[in-house]
Chain A
C-alpha cells in the first residue's frame, strides 16, 4: 500500500515530530508552543483535562486544522498538510472521539469509502480479503457485512481503526478511545492496541480520565494542561497520583470516601418491577429494592443489562410491564414524568447532549426545562424569565460552571460544564430521589470529583440517590448499597462495606450472590 516512510526508520526511532505548535481560537490558546515526538512502535498516551487542547493538537497532526505557528516532521522531513488526505497519504490515521461512520452502510462499505484503490466498480470480494488479512494480523473479529447501526460502540470503533489501517496508517491517533466503551470492550481495545504496537505501529491514545488505562498500556505519556506540555515521561516513572496532579495542577483525592449519614424514612419502594426494551424483549425482569433518606443505591453493571429500562420506568418515560413503584408511600407506578418531577424525582440522563439538554437553547432556557411547571416561576401561564435568570446565575456560581454568561447556547459548554449545569438544575430543586445515569462518563478527574461530591451532599441533606454506573470504582466508593445487575435482574444487593471488587465484578458477569456463597 502506501509505504511512504523512509525504510531506515526502525522501531523506537522518531517517526513523527511536532515543534512549537501553536493554535489560537477566539479567546483561547488551544495549543501553546507544543513539542511532541512519536516513536515507531510505541504507545504514547496524551493526557489532559477536558479543554486541555488534546483534540486540537491531534487535528493539527491529522491536517484537519492548520497550526498558527510550528512545524511538523515525518521521518525527519518537514511536511505541510492542507487537508486530512495529505496526512492519510503520509501514513497518519485517526479515530475521532465521535464516530465518523455511516450507520446505514455495511462495515466493508465504510472501510473502503474514499479509498483510492476502491476502483470504479466495487470489488468487495478483494477488499474483504484484504481487510480480513488485517483483522487476522491483529486478532480482530468483525462481521464485515453487518450494517454499522447494528454494531456496539466498541465494534464501531474497531471499524474506524481498521479503516485507518486499511488506508496504510503507521501512526494511529485515538481520541478518547475508551470513553464510550464498556469495561469489557475497553479490555478488548487494550488488547488490540497492544497487538498493533507490536506490529510496528505508533499508537497515540488521548485520554482524559481512566488513568489506570494509561498506566496499563502506554510506554510514554505526555501531559497537557491549558494548551501546554507539562511533562513527557516514561510511564514506568508515573503513578496515578502524579499524573492526576500534573493534569489538574493540584492534588486530587481519588477515592471519594463513603460517608455514612443518618438514615431516615424509606423514600422509594420498588417491587418486582419489569419492563420491555425498545426491541420488545423483557429487559428488566422483576427487580425489587428500596432506598431510604441519606442513602446512595448503586447499580453496577455493563450497559444494556436493563439499566436504561429501569431508569426510564422510574423517570416515567417507559411503561412498566409489571410491579409497582411508590415514592413517599404514594403509588407512582403509572404516573407521568411531570407528576414525578413534582413529587420530587430528579433525573440526570446518561446522554447529556441528546437527552439532558437542548443544544441550541441558552443556559437559561435549559434551566427552565426543569422549572417551567413550578408556580413560583410562572404567572398566568407566562414564565417569569427574570426569576429564572437569577436562578441560573445562582446555580452556575454555586456549581462552578465555567461560561462567559448564561445566554450562550448549551452546545458551547464542554462536557464537564454541561454535566455540572444539568446536575445543578436537578439538585437545586431539592428532589427526594435523584436518579443519575452514568453521571461521570467522559468527564475529566476534576469534574468527576465535583459531581461525586455533589451527590454525597445531596444524600447528606436527606435525599436518596439511585446511581447507575459502569465504573466499578465509582459505585464502590459512593454507594451504601450495591446491586450488580445482569440481564435485567439484580444478582443480589450488598451493603456497601461488604461489596468487594472481585465479588461485584463476578456478579456483574452474571453470578448470583447465592451461587457465590454456596
Chain B
C-alpha cells in the first residue's frame, strides 16, 4: 500500500515537471502540444548518454539541453515565423516518436546503472518538483519577469506598447519550458523506470498537457492535480489493487482526461467567468505579428 502511494508520487513528479514546462510556455502565449515528443527526446538521449558515459549528471544535462533545443525549434516556428503552434507541436510529437524509436532501438533494455538513492523512500526529484513549483509560482506572480510573461500571454500588443519585447519573453519561456520537459523525460528514463523501450512514455506527455488546462494555469493547482493524476495513473497499472476487475487499465487512463474536460467545462461556465474571470491566457496559441 505504502509502495503504491510512493509510486504514485513518483509518477506525479514527472507530470509536475513536464507540465510546469508547458505552463510557463502557455503563460507567455505559446502552446506546445508536442510535449510528449519533447519528453521522448529528453528521455531517449538522456538515457543513451548516461548508458554510454556511465554518468547520471551528463544524462540529465543532455536531456535538459535537448528539451531546450526542441523548445527553441518550436519557438522559431511559432514566434519568429508566426506559424501555427498546433501544427508545429504535432510535428514535434511525430518527429520525437519516430526519431527516438530509430535512435533508441539499439539501446533497448535496462540502463544497468546503480539506482539513484531515494529520500524517505521517494525519488529526490519529487522534492525538486515541489521546489520548482514554488519557484515558478513566485516568478510568475511576484516578479517583474513574471508580470512580463503573463502580459505577453494575455495581450502581446499591450505588452509591446509598454516596452516589453514579446519575442524575447516568449523565447525565454518556450526554451525554459522545453528544458523542463526534457528534464521530466530524463527523470522517467533514468530514475522512474530506467529501461528503454520504444514509446515507453505511453502518453504521459499528453496527461501533462491536460494537467496544465486542469490547473487553470496555477502552479499549485497543477501540483495538486498532478498528484491526483499520478495516483489515477498508478491505479491504471494495477486496477485490481482497489477495485478488482472493475475496469481495464485503458479505461482508467482516460480518467485524467475526463476530469480535465470537467474542469474545462466548469471554467467555461458563465458562473465561473463572472466570478473569477477568464482563466485561459487570452493570447494562447495566437501568433503575434508586429505591424
Give A contacts to B, CB under 8 Å. Answer: 84-85, 88, 100-105, 109, 112-115, 118-122, 147, 149-150, 278-279
Report the stretch among B119-127, B153-161, B244-252 that lies at the interface. B153-161
Given A121-B144, A122-B143, A278-B270, residue A103 in contact with residue B163 (CB < 8 A): no
B164 lies within 8 A of chain A by Cβ: yes
Contact of A112 among B146, B147, B155 (CB under 8 A): B147
B162 lies within 8 A of chain A by Cβ: yes
Q: How far is the CB of B5 from chain A (nearest CB, A)?
A: 36
Closest B residue to A150 using CB positions: B277
Contact of A102 among B146, B155, B270 (CB under 8 A): B155
B53 lies within 8 A of chain A by Cβ: no
Closest A residue to B157 using CB positions: A100
B154 touches A85 (CB 8 A): no
A279 touches B142 (CB 8 A): no
B150 lies within 8 A of chain A by Cβ: yes
A102 touches B151 (CB 8 A): yes
Give B contacts to A, CB under 8 Å. Answer: 142-148, 150-151, 154-155, 157-159, 161-164, 270, 274, 277-278, 281-282
Docked pose: A186 CA to B147 CA in angstroms = 31
Residues of A within 8 A of B147 (CB): 105, 109, 112-113, 118, 122
Residues of A within 8 A of B151 (CB): 102, 105, 113-114
Main secondary structure of the interface of A (DSSP, over half): loop
Docked pose: A471 CA to B96 CA in angstroms = 61
A85 touches B163 (CB 8 A): yes
A102 touches B158 (CB 8 A): yes
Docked pose: A105 CA to B281 CA in angstroms = 11
A-B complex: 5 closest residue pairs judged by Cβ atoms: A114-B162, A114-B163, A102-B154, A118-B144, A113-B162
Main secondary structure of the interface of B (DSSP, over half): helix
Residues of B within 8 A of A100 (CB): 157-158, 161
Closest A residue to B146 using CB positions: A122
Docked pose: A204 CA to B125 CA in angstroms = 58
Residues of B within 8 A of A104 (CB): 150, 154, 277-278, 281-282
B163 touches A88 (CB 8 A): yes
Contact of B142 among A85, A105, A121 (CB under 8 A): A121
Contact of B274 among A105, A112, A121, A279 (CB under 8 A): A279
How many Cβ-Cβ contacts under 8 Å join chain A to chain B? 67
Residues of A within 8 A of B270 (CB): 278
Q: How far is the CB of B269 from chain A (nearest CB, A)?
A: 12
Docked pose: A102 CA to B147 CA in angstroms = 11
Residues of B within 8 A of A149 (CB): 277-278
A147 touches B164 (CB 8 A): no
Q: How far is the CB of B230 from chain A (nearest CB, A)?
A: 29
Docked pose: A121 CA to B141 CA in angstroms = 10
A84 touches B161 (CB 8 A): yes
Closest A residue to B278 using CB positions: A104
Q: How far is the CB of A468 from chain B (nearest CB, A)?
A: 24
B163 touches A147 (CB 8 A): no
Residues of A within 8 A of B162 (CB): 113-115
Closest B residue to A148 using CB positions: B277
B143 touches A120 (CB 8 A): yes
A114 touches B277 (CB 8 A): no
Docked pose: A105 CA to B155 CA in angstroms = 11
Residues of A within 8 A of B144 (CB): 118-122
Closest B residue to A118 using CB positions: B144
Residues of B within 8 A of A147 (CB): 277
Docked pose: A121 CA to B145 CA in angstroms = 8
Docked pose: A371 CA to B164 CA in angstroms = 46
With A103-B282, A149-B278 known, 15 other A-B pairs at CB within 8 A are A101-B155, A102-B150, A103-B277, A104-B150, A104-B277, A105-B147, A105-B154, A109-B147, A113-B147, A113-B158, A114-B159, A121-B142, A122-B143, A149-B277, A150-B277
List 30 A-B pairs, Cβ < 8 Å.
A85-B163, A88-B163, A100-B158, A100-B161, A101-B158, A102-B155, A102-B158, A102-B159, A102-B282, A104-B154, A104-B277, A104-B281, A104-B282, A105-B147, A105-B151, A109-B147, A113-B158, A113-B164, A114-B151, A114-B163, A119-B144, A120-B143, A120-B144, A121-B142, A122-B142, A122-B143, A149-B277, A149-B278, A278-B274, A279-B274
